[in-house]
Amino acid sequence: MKHRLIILALVSALVVAAAPSRADEGMWLLSQLPELAPTMKAMGLQLDPNDIWDPKTNTGFASATPWLGGCSSSFVSPEGLIITNHHCAFGALQMNSNPEHDYITNGFLARSRGEELEAKGQRVTVFRGYEDVTATVQSAIKAVAEPEARTKAIEQREKQLVAECEKTGLRCRVAEMFGGAKYYLYRQLELRDVRLVYAPPRAIGEYGGEVDNWVWPRHTGDYSFLRAYVGKDGKPADYSPDNVPFKPDRFLKIATTPLAEGDFTFILGYPGRTMRYRTASSIAEDTNFYYPQRIKLLKELIALLENESKRGKDIEIKLASQLKGYYNSFKNNEGMLEGLTRTNLAGLKRAEEAKLTEWINADASRKTKYGETLLSLDKITTSRGEMRDRDLVLGWMAMPRSYGLLGAALTIDRWGEQKAKPDMERDLGYQPRDEGSLRQRLVNMQRNLDPETDRAMLGYLLKRAASLPAGQRIGAVDEALATTGKTGDEGVAALLDRVFATKLDDQKVRLEMFDKDHKALLAGGDPMILFADALRRDTKAMEEAGKRYEGETVLLMPRYLEALSAWKGKPLYPDANSTLRMTYATVKGYSPRDAVVYKPFTSLAGVVQKNTGAEPFACPPRLLDAAKLGVEKFGRWVDPKLHDVPACFLTTNDITGGNSGSAILSAKGELVGLAFDGNYEAIDSDFQFDAALARTIAVDIRYVLWCMDFVDKAHDLMREMGVEPVNK
């Protein structure tokens, strides 16, 4: 452990040693702001680091940028008004839509507070600071030798820290950084009453659809508004008509200075996951197996859902959110694989690791400290890949946030098993603190549930499971199929007939089962519950293998990253993990290939030029009518250099999934746009950052305001944000 602490100290020193040499790369922790400030100020920042986040007072712009649990957002008024992307509020639109009120297609605008719609299940978590708890977490594994026990010991310590933190009424989590070299305790205020305020028609919010997804030039009005509410006592509360708007400590002001090429920008948001420090063997596995197989699976599931959507408007609405997510993942994964292959990243990493190994072996002390690290990581990766076919299918079948009945059954079965245990002995995600969200999930799924589609999807996965190679079989599936007395597709059909005799399609029944103890639950004999319980044996085996892997890498990855940082002679930033990060850069175009140069701004004229009248380029008639008024009518929404309303723009900010909805802030800290995408040419930036190609695509706040002003006449909301309409 003494050796371990030395590594920790060295990595910590390297992380904060200096500002990065390349300003646009890196998703930085707020604690690194003082070291980054000189570079940021040289680029144009006009704020003190404490304006962004002051750790002494836990205030700053960071407290104005809450997390939506998968997306980022910002408060833009003292009345709890939140701006984020259209696709981040898509679930709220879907939950409130039906064939008579199709808010997905037509958009929604609440003309008064009383008209705002409940965004069921949506949570807004407001940043309240974080602290380094590395020493506390690391002390839990001092005398632990077995990898699996090591992971469990870390989880136990994390649960203890979270339980103590949440006595204050906040929502807390422990986040691992640098593969286990650092741990931070994050504090958030969770707001449970969230309402949909305004979203433009899909033809604005998703203009270009999958054709333009991840593509520049872009003309998408990807914005929407929510509002957070609390009880009359100012504390978080469940939805109630008597609740009042949340009063944020800080909210963002709308920029009044026109954004221009070369301007400084910074982003505060919650990037989901990056893999910048993966080893060559791991990247080879992703390139040769993971992405090809995942792309194939997504393509087939998309075809299945598209076919089911044709059965009627109600089914189309029910499946819309799931289908949208699959399409986005499919295109992302295709681009990821293309980038990994085109750049031969696995080969580049092998060459880098060869040089790193040469540097390590050139010094006896370095060889003693790091000598076996890469070799050990390679062995672990190879071992983990031995069950990759099973893990892919089982992972999808047992997805905890599944829209389907099997996902509900797995949640209910595991909750029944776990709730008999003391709090600190329960699995993460199944503690008393999680009961409300689990119960809400079982309620919310009713709006998206279509048993016929659910049956088709589970049938597809069962067929995949039935074709798994020997040694990678899913025991519960094999046993269940064998009891049908049939084989092939007939066996799958017979099993589906059995499990879909379940009563779980009834919301009341699901909640009643959720409240039963495990023994009584199984005694009830529901076929989907019994299948889920049998499947839990397989998922437990997969989870235990994951814990062994984590327990091994938690000692190796910090050592590898320390060696990498020392060899390169520069500080590292941690991979993204849905914690608040800051990235800074400039407004800048790029050249994707020979003789092609992309400018950093698109315009309203470009929106109209793309219009074909057919999806995905069918502008709403009211937008076309507004555009015909001419730029001379649009006042301050017109950019002086473009001589038009800017639609979208590019920056060199380093982002990934989870940054959707992030505020892009000017040098003064004013809101100039919302990040909503990356560009296809650099879609593999989750693995490697190319400064020449990697760009953030954002909707310009002037286009948002123009749409609010001239298209939807959302003038009251504009005034709430401190903006006077032009179109009075």
Question: Which residues are annotated as catalytic?
Answer: 87, 222, 660
Cβ neighbours of residue 411 closer than 8 Å, sequence gap 6 or more: 400, 438, 441, 442, 514
Q: How far apart are CA 527 and CA 515, in angstroms?
A: 18
Contacts of 163 (CB under 8 A, 6+ apart): 423, 424
Q: Helix, strand, or coil here: 195?
A: strand
Q: Report the distance separating Cα 163 and Cα 90, nearest Å.
A: 33
In the 8-state DSSP scheme, what is residue 254?
Answer: B
Distance of CA 289 to the CA centre of its chain: 23
Q: Which two tokens stand for residue 561?
A: 């990253």
Chain centre distance of CA 378? 28
Give the ranges where 419-484 is alpha helix by DSSP (H): 435-448, 451-466, 475-482
Query: For the chain, how many residues are written?
Result: 728
Task: Tell me how far CA of residue 293 lies from CA of 290, 299, 385, 390, in angstroms.
Answer: 5, 10, 13, 12
Task: Extract the tokens encoding 20.
Answer: 């990065």
CA distance 49 to 509: 53
CA–CA gap between residue 180 and residue 218 (Å, rounded): 39
Any idea which residue has 């699995």 for tokens?
427
Q: How many CB atoms lie within 10 A of CB 591?
A: 12
DSSP 268-329: EE------TT--HHHHHHIIIIIHHHHHHHHHHHHHHHHHHHTT-HHHHHHHHHHHHHHHHH
Give the relative orientation of helices 527-568 and 388-397 as an angle to the nearest 10 degrees: 120
Tell me which DSSP letter residue 662 carries.
P
